[in-house]
């Protein structure tokens, strides 16, 4: 692993990687919406609900996830920590949205903690405990977390409780915010 990268990077989902938030949807996002994946061809760019809403990645989030899918960060483990009130909706989006043609978003995240049941609460510290069980070599002080923090300061909470470094993404993850996070680990 490069000394200038964290060993683990974790993303929140709602309002960090995609929009809208799952609790605002009236039905599960189940219909794939095809379109351009930037310069990488066509693929599933959205998941539409029968009630009409479509979940889409933020443009910069798609570019960042494409970098991840292209193995730019081959020695980094990636995961998601979401306190979604509709975890089945979140999983449907993870399993449906494509980052590159044929590459589902879900395949980028070997460790996942989604929802507010089974020991998970609205506090992300519970999600990180679950992630640690899935990935025992995870070192919190060598972990980077991105979260919109629109409902509470999860970044500050995780830093104070576990030593996780983080970046707030109040308007969806941007490339500048991602690079700011990575810079926290530069020697």
The average confidence (pLDDT) of the chain is 94
Does residue 31 sit in helix, strand or coil? strand
| pLDDT of 140 | 97
Q: Would the pLDDT of 154 be above 70? A: yes
Which residues make Cβ contacts (< 8 Å) with residue 93, sequence separation at least 6? 13, 18, 29, 47, 55, 105
CA dist., res. 138 & res. 30, Å (int): 33
Reported pTM: 0.95
pLDDT in tens, 71-121: 999 899 999 999 999 999 999 999 999 999 999 999 999 999 999 988 888
CA dist., res. 66 & res. 132, Å (int): 25
Tell me which H or E stretch contains 96.
helix 87-96
Tokens coding 116: 């507010």
Residue with tokens 């889409």: 56
Distances in Å between the Cα of 177 and the Cα atoms of 31, 35, 43, 65 are 31, 26, 26, 14
Four-CA torsion 41, 107, 181, 84, nearest 10 degrees: 110
> 168 forms bridges with which residues in the sheet?
147
CA dist., res. 27 & res. 86, Å (int): 10
């Amino acid at each position: 692993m490069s000394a200038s990268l964290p060993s683990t990077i974790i993303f929140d989902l709602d309002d960090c990687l995609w929009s809208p938030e799952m609790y605002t949807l009236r039905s599960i996002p189940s219909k794939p919406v095809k379109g351009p994946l930037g310069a990488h061809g066509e693929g599933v760019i959205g998941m539409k609900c029968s009630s009409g809403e479509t979940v889409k990645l933020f443009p910069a989030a798609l570019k960042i996830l494409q970098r991840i899918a292209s193995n730019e960060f081959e020695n980094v483990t990636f995961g998601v920590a979401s306190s979604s009130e509709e975890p089945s909706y979140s999983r449907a989006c993870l399993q449906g949205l494509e980052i590159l043609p044929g590459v589902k978003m879900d395949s980028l995240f070997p460790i996942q903690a989604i929802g507010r049941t089974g020991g998970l609460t609205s506090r992300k510290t519970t999600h990180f405990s679950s992630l640690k069980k899935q990935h025992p070599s995870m070192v919190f002080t060598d972990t980077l977390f991105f979260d919109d923090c629109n409902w509470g300061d999860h970044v500050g909470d995780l830093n104070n409780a576990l030593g996780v470094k983080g970046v707030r993404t109040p308007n969806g993850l941007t490339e500048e915010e991602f690079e700011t996070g990575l810079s926290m680990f530069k020697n």
